[in-house]
């Protein structure tokens, strides 16, 4: 077995440890020892972008916000799906500046260096602050920052999934805009919360790996 190599370890603003690990060409992101993602299983992250963009209105200049960069697979899938609309723009919001730096360096090749695409704008910060005060700004908002509404990378992310946070997300969308949220598992309480916030809810289950019979992840889609 190939040895684990720690490429870099950083401490987050909340005191948690974010670690980038490599083993035999496989990369892994861990938070406090818990696996967050790897480059072996990312099909459902790609599906998030593909499914949301398939539900967009046929505007020539869609504006998207993606919360959470990860290893760039969701962003790459969004750019590819938006290829027929070259005037589209994507705003990436990533709370960890180290993740952006890794995606411009050691991880760049995994998803074809999507941060180099001129349609992409990068913002270091949290999604809740980015959408604060935004109204009718985004045609789609994609969130892939946690393992689900209750499995949080940072405790502060809870503010995105509570009633006030969901209301802010809805107001930041254009009429007929789409919110897409990736989750490792279903969450009936969160389903109800999205309904109470006024979203027309759709739940899509996608395989973690498109080739195979493994576990399924969940996409919560909400149309304003």
Q: Confirm whether 14 is domain-assigned.
A: no
Q: Confirm whether 204 is domain-assigned.
A: yes
Q: Confirm whether 24 is domain-assigned.
A: no
Give the number of domains in the chain: 1
pLDDT > 70? residue 167:
yes
Q: Confirm whether 18 is domain-assigned.
A: no
Kindly report the CATH number assigned to the domain that includes residue 57.
Answer: 3.40.50.150
For 103, the 3-state DSSP assignment is: helix
Q: Confirm whether 3 is domain-assigned.
A: no
The pLDDT value recorded for residue 211 is 61
Q: Confirm whether 161 is domain-assigned.
A: yes
Question: 28: part of which helix (H) or strand (E)?
Answer: strand 26-31
β-sheet bridge partners, residue 31: 18, 34
pLDDT > 60? residue 150:
no
pLDDT tens digits for range 202-218: 999 998 766 656 678 99
User: Quick one: pLDDT band at residue 155, thresholds 50, 70, 90?
Assistant: low
The pLDDT value recorded for residue 122 is 98
The mean pLDDT value for 126-148 works out to 87
Q: Confirm whether 177 is domain-assigned.
A: yes
Which domain covers residue 74, as residue numbers?
40-223
Q: Confirm whether 19 is domain-assigned.
A: no
pLDDT tens digits for range 68-98: 999 999 999 999 999 999 999 999 999 899 9
CA 201, 74, 152, 137 dihedral sign is: negative
Q: What is the pTM of this model?
A: 0.92
């Amino acid at each position: 077995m190939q040895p684990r190599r720690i490429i870099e370890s950083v401490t987050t603003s909340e005191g948690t440890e974010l670690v980038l690990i490599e083993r035999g060409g496989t990369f892994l992101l861990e938070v406090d020892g818990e696996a967050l993602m790897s480059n072996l299983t990312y099909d459902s992250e790609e599906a998030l972008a593909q499914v949301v963009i398939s539900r967009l209105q046929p505007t020539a200049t869609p504006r998207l916000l993606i919360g959470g960069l990860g290893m760039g697979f969701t962003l790459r899938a969004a750019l590819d799906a938006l290829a027929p609309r070259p005037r589209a723009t994507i705003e990436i919001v990533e709370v960890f500046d180290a993740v952006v730096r890794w995606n411009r360096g050691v991880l760049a090749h995994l998803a074809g260096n999507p941060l180099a695409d001129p349609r992409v704008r990068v913002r270091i910060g949290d999604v809740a602050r980015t959408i604060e005060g935004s109204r009718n700004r985004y045609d789609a908002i994609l969130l892939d920052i946690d393992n689900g509404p209750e499995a949080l990378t940072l405790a502060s992310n809870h503010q995105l999934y509570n009633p006030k946070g969901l209301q802010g997300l809805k107001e930041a969308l254009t009429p007929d805009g789409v919110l897409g949220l990736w989750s490792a598992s279903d969450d009936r309480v969160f389903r109800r919360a999205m309904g109470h916030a006024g979203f027309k809810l759709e739940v899509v289950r996608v395989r973690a790996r498109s080739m195979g019979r493994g576990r399924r992840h969940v996409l919560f889609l909400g149309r304003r």
